[in-house]
Structure 1
Amino acid sequence: MSPLIMGRTKVKGMSAEELVERSSALGGALESGAAQLDPARAADAAAVIDKVTARTALSGNHTVVALAGATGSGKSSLFNALVGDAVATVGARRPTTSRPVAAVWGDDDATDLLDWLQVAQRHHVVGDAAGQQAGEKGRAAQGWNLDGLVLLDLPDFDSRVEAHRHESERVLQLVDVFVWVTDPQKYADARLHDDFLKVLATHDAVTVVVLNQADRLSADSVQQVRGDLGRLTAEDGIAGVQVLATSATTRAGLDELGMRLGTAVAARNAAQARLAADVRATAGRLRADVADSEVTLPDDVDTELVDALSRAAGVPTVVAAVERDYRNQAWSRTGWPFTRWVRALRPDPIKRLRLNTRDSVEEKLALTAGDVRSVLGRSSLPPPTPAARAAVDLATRAVGDRAADGLPHRWAEAVSDAATPPGPELADALDQAVVGTSLRMRAPLWWRAFGVAQLLLSLVAVLGLGWLVVLVVLGWLALPRIDTPSLGPVPYPLLMFAGGLLLGLALAAVARWVARIGARRRGHVIRRRLTEAVSGVAAERIAGPVRAVLARHRTTREGLDRAAA
């Protein structure tokens, strides 16, 4: 309900608790919006929040009404007529009013409120002074009940003195109700309409428009000018406003204006209505700095980004080293025992990268040098190539572009910055992710089976060779021959020797083939582990910050919508 017109329902009333809630929502939006909100509008919003806090802490029994107008509009005369005493200075010299003048009705102390308004000149209206003077002028008062009214006569808002204009604008930021006083000569003045009525169009619930000095016009002219002023006010955005025609000389229209002010005082919600309008207007202006929605990132990190980061982190190099290490270990444990020692002369590909050592293949729970390096050291992986770095840049830029779709410029920049962390930090995180990924896996059972089989075949070959040597020595010494069992024409010693060697070589060839298959499988497992580690870095260093910016945008938008509701 409008605090000025009983029964008006265009503007929803607001309790002090709801006002504080809306103000808190605006404050939360400012905090979450941070640098992504327009600095000037954010500063205005912060000032509104401070004003809400200060005004709601002051007396709730007073309603502050300001008479504001251009030079020569008769504000001071109208002020004196309402007060019933010559409190404000009236004269032909312009400007006449240089400082705000306050008139206070009622017995409640308004000192703190006027101190906050910084109004030094104060007048306490005793009794029904206005009504008494009205009676003396021959126009009976209509029962104005203005207890709790603080009426201000402001300097001219178009004064040639800059300090007067600034003072008028300062006080207008703080009052509860606006009474815009104009006259037949200046009612269409651009300063009134463009700088005040249009800017405060959302404050229609606490706005009164007065055509003063109506005694200078005929009755028909008064109606014509009132209609034209109402049309201009509607074009300013304040639709349905009723223009009051007054005259401080004849006291015409004072009763209606006094009733309007009495209604505002009796409602005791003009301050909340003004502050609520301030919060709504400020939130509405800030709303231009946020979008109507924001992108929701999927839970899974973008595949292209993970692939690019994996290449930059050297995952293919690590996987290749793991496969080579697997093959080397497999051949050293399952190859032909008589040539197995040659494998020991080859460098360890895992050690060369300063990753997990070979000992960790079977010792799953052992603490290795690789574990210490995962905390304190770095790997010896080669730095990413220019092509890999370019792929990372493209992938992160793509993530930022998708997340920033539809966002205002400042928010889009924040998303882009979040999606492209500093190079050294990201590179260090990727390196630590690779170093910290366990390359440990149990030795396959087939290694042991093939190894045992190779040992048995080698033993058979050695025994066969030994048997043959014994037979040769016996023959050379011309000793009695020993019957040698045979399989057909082939004696067992020769069969054992040749069979052990040939089967051992064949088993080594099979082991080499199986080792290649196992190396590829081991590479797939390690690649999956490393990719998960890289994906974790992408989620923490890229997707996480981007989600945080989008969450701030959502919080800001919801806070502004709540404040502007």
Structure 2
Amino acid sequence: MEGAENATEPGKSGKFAKFMKPAKFMKSVKSEESGEPREPDEAVESEEPHEGPESVAFEPAPDEPGGSAGGWDDGLIARRAGGKGSPDGLSGVDGLDGGPGDGSDESEAHTPIGGAYGGSLRVRLDALGELVGLSRTRLEGSVLAEAGRVLDEASARQRLSSRHTVVAIAGATGSGKSTLFNALAEVPISETGLRRPTTSAPIACVWSEGAAGLLDRLAIPGRLRRKPLAGGDGDEELHGLVLVDLPDHDSAVVRHREQVDRVLALVDAVIWVVDPEKYADAALHERYLRPLAGHAEITFIVLNQIDRLPGDAADQVLDDLRRLLDEDGMALGEHGEPGATVLAVSALSGHGVGELRELLGRFVQERNAAERRLSADVDAAAWRLRSAYVAEGRAGLGERSREQFADRLAWAVGAVAAGEAAERAWRRNAGRACGTPWLRLWRWYESTRMPGGQTSRPPETAEEELTARQRVEQAVRTVAEEASAGLPAPWAHSVREAAARGAEGLPEALDELALTAATPSSRPPRPTWWPAAVLAQASMTLLQIYGALWLVGQIIGVLEPGLLPPVLVMLAGIVGGPFVEWACGAAAMGPARRYGQDAERRLREAAAACGRARVLDPISAELMRYREVREQYVTVSRSGG
């Protein structure tokens, strides 16, 4: 319908007639040096084919004002006579002319946004950068790709003009977006017609100087950069606007759709042009409006061709369009609330175009569209990263989990058994020191019967060793599962990997600890009462010997007969010796138990320290890193969830 609109639009043929005659136009261009009119044959025609009045384009000679020597080479640019710039009143697109005498402040034209990224946006961008840096070795590159793209685009946009707002006009085939583009520029810049697709490449219209970097970023060549007819630099209403007409997003040509997607990712705002026939098109809503619902504040939805709707049908279609946008999740800027702007226009009759120009003017003069676009991009990136940073519960390694892990390692290393063995060794040593000489002699005799002079000890079987290793592995798996419970999948995987790396060689280290920490370097210490006990035991032994000698002396007749006294003395020694041994054993129970407990504690602490250094500390480091990135994510997402 774009061709029909151009064909029947009233009053346009006379208004633009002076721009449709190439020869007459070129005769009005004078040489900068001589001031004499140049001949038409000196002009260089554009590469664009002549398909109608709108496609006529020229490039001035290099020595002309505004030519390549002056900095612009973008073909026929709609200009207003009498404007600032060259002596003949012609001016080129900003940044392309850029030469002296163009009436623009060079330093102002290249003022970057720089400090404009202040406040919450700067904080969020810094947090996003920290988030990506801390997560690069933990998450896959595809997960962080969108966040990296947002940071790159933020950096690129910051280096470009902050005085300009890039607004793209997008729409489906036949929606009339090119006609609306021309209506806003008030000059037939973008080609319209019945042939589909009509627009094959993005075309830009710039209302003020200094936007060359932005257009270079969009990869729009100089021959497709234009200026409006009526406004020029004096049109304060749209001063700073860079309007881009895109190819059809539903074009049958794949390259056209790719250009639409590329440019939409770079512009500051977008005007979606829909018509009464395709406003509910699933491709538009599912591919663009729904994914970009978070960019509502920089989105304009224009229902075009309302002159085709009879009566109150336009209001009904507009209400249905609002309903569809609400289902897409796109907030509508009504009643003072931030959101998308929805209005009805007719680019053919001009109805609503003035209101759209006024809205665009206010939007451009706020000069914060780039920040709002980046803020929405950060929101979208944060939402995509949510599953990688938001835990289902309270993640961490509690004190109870640490204690249970230490208990499992102590059990695996045999700390309890080692304590019991140390207690038995202490009591056995006490028995050797305080026992009767006859019992000690018997024990010595028994020890001499064994090879090496020591009692045999059954070797540890392979089954017991395997069981200890399995206990260690089970302890590591259990603490890793407890620490990673509720964490997002990538971080839970990192915690389990850290635990698995630490578990390598842990059983061997615990075995070495069992030998060094549990086995005492010397005999168990003796209490202070042991010498008295030894003296008492020696006295009992002497009584036995004295009584026995006394009795023998009586038997052989050396001593006077008297059976009772030597028997009593010998009996006192015989009974006193075991009694002293029993008393010493009872007195040794407490110290022996404490000695065993101390041995168990040493082995338990050594096993816990080994497990902490090899397993718990790496797990804690991963959890600390997760808490750091979680804090950065909360800053990026501007929420506590």
Structure 1 residues 220 and 529: alpha-carbon distance in aligned structure 2, compared to 1, 3 A threshold: same
Query: Which SS does the other structure have where 1:210 is aligned?
Result: strand
> What CA distance in whole angstroms lies between the structure 2 residues aligned with 1:76 and 1:293?
52
Q: Name the CA shift for 1:519/1:404 in 2 (closer, same or farther; >3 Å).
A: same
Report if aligned partners of 1:181, 1:211 keep a CA contact under 8 Å in 2.
yes
What residue in structure 2 maps to residue 151 of structure 1?
243
Give the structure 2 partner of residue 73 of structure 1: 175
User: Residue 313 of structure 1 is aligned with which of 403, 413, 426?
Assistant: 413
User: Does 2:374 align with 1:266?
Assistant: no
**SS of residue in 2 equivalent to 1:145:** helix
Q: Report deviation, 1:191.
A: 1.4
Contact residue 313 and residue 434 of structure 1 kept, 8 A: yes
How does 1:302-451 map onto structure 2 within 5 Å? 304-337=404-437, 339-340=439-440, 345=447, 384-385=464-465, 387-388=467-468, 391=471, 395-417=475-497, 424-435=504-515, 437=517, 442-451=525-534
Any idea what the Cα deviations from partners look like across 1:212-271, whole Å, max 9, x if unmatched?
A: 233444464433333332222222222334423334433332222222222222111111
Structure-2 residue corresponding to 1:101: 203
1:503-538 deviations in Å (ceiling 9; x for gaps): 334323433444455433322222222223333344
Q: Which residue of 2 aligns with 1:281?
A: 380
The verdict on how the C-alpha distance between 1:259 and 1:146 changes in structure 2, with shifts beyond 3 A counting, is same
In 2, the alpha carbon distance for the partners of 1:349 and 1:516 equals 24
What is residue 87 of structure 1 aligned with on the other side? 189
Worse overlay, 382-391 or 278-287: 382-391
Q: 2:565 aligns with which of 473, 486, 490?
A: 490
Residue identity over aligned pairs, in percent, reads: 40
Measure how far apart 1:26 and its partner are. Answer: 3.0
Report how far residue 186 of structure 1 moved: 1.7
Q: 1:369 is matched with which residue? A: none
The TM-score, its normalising length taken from structure 1, stands at 0.76
Q: How far apart are 1:424 and its partner, in Å? A: 4.2
Tell whether 2:302 aligns with 1:207.
no
Distance apart, 1:397 and its partner CA: 4.7
CA separation of 1:259/1:505 partners in 2, compared to 1, >3 Å: closer, same or farther? same
TM-score, length basis structure 2: 0.68
| 2:476/2:500 contact within 8 Å kept | yes
2:355 match: 256
CA contact (8 A) 1:70 1:156 kept: yes
Judge conservation of contact 2:473–2:503 (CA < 8 Å) in 1: no
Q: Secondary structure of 1:174's match? A: coil
- What are structure 2's unaligned runs of at least 5 residues? 1-115, 333-339
Question: In structure 1, which of residues 529, 534, 545 is the aligned counterpart of residue 602 of structure 2?
Answer: 529
Matched, 1:61 2:163: yes
In 1, Cα distance between the equivalents of 2:489 and 2:508?
31
AA aligned opposite 2:164 = H
Say how many residue pairs are matched.
Answer: 507
C-alpha separation between the residues in 2 aligned to 1:152 and 1:343? 104
Distance 1:505 1:350, change over 3 A: closer
Q: CA deviation at 1:164?
A: 1.6
Q: Compared with structure 1, are the counterparts of its residues 442 and 53 closer, same or farther at alpha carbon in structure 2 (3 Å cutoff)?
A: farther
Are the structure 2 counterparts of residues 234 and 546 from structure 1 closer, same or farther at C-alpha, using a change threshold of 3 Å? Answer: same
Aligned counterparts of 1:186 and 1:349: Cα–Cα separation in 2: 98
1:116 pairs with one of 204, 213, 217: 217
**Contact conserved, 2:165 with 2:268, CA < 8 A, in 1?**
yes
Amino acid of the residue matched to residue 153 of structure 1? D
Distance 2:626 2:573 in 1: 75
Return the letter of the residue paired with 1:111: A
1:564 to 1:129, Cα distance in 2 relative to 1, 3 A: same
Say which is worse superposed, 530-539 or 44-53, in terms of deviation: 530-539
Query: 2:191, 2:383 → 1: CA distance?
Result: 40
Shift of 1:310: 2.1
Which consecutive residues of structure 1, in runs of 5 or more, have no partner in the other structure?
1-13, 134-140, 355-379
Q: CA deviation at 1:421?
A: 5.6
Shift in Å, 1:381 = 9.9
Mark the CA change 1:28 to 1:452 in structure 2 (over 3 Å): closer, same or farther. farther
Task: Return the letter of the residue paired with 1:285.
Answer: R
Instruction: Give, in whole Å, the separation in 1 of the partners of 2:216 and 2:428.
Output: 88
Q: 2:458 & 2:197 partners in 1: Cα distance? A: 86
Contact 1:301 1:538 in 2 (8 A): no
Matches of 1:311 and 1:85, distance apart in 2: 87
Question: Are the aligned partners of 1:87 and 1:123 in contact in 2 as well (CA < 8 Å)?
Answer: no
1:427 Cα deviation from its structure 2 partner: 0.9
Deviations along 1:437-476, one digit per CA (max 9) or x if unpaired, are 366564333333323433454456567777888x689966
Higher RCO (CA < 8 A, seq sep 6+): 1
Do 1:297 and 1:403's aligned partners in 2 also have CA atoms closer than 8 Å? yes
Superposed, 1:165-176 pairs within 5 Å as 165-176=257-268
Letter of the structure 1 residue corresponding to residue 565 of structure 2: V
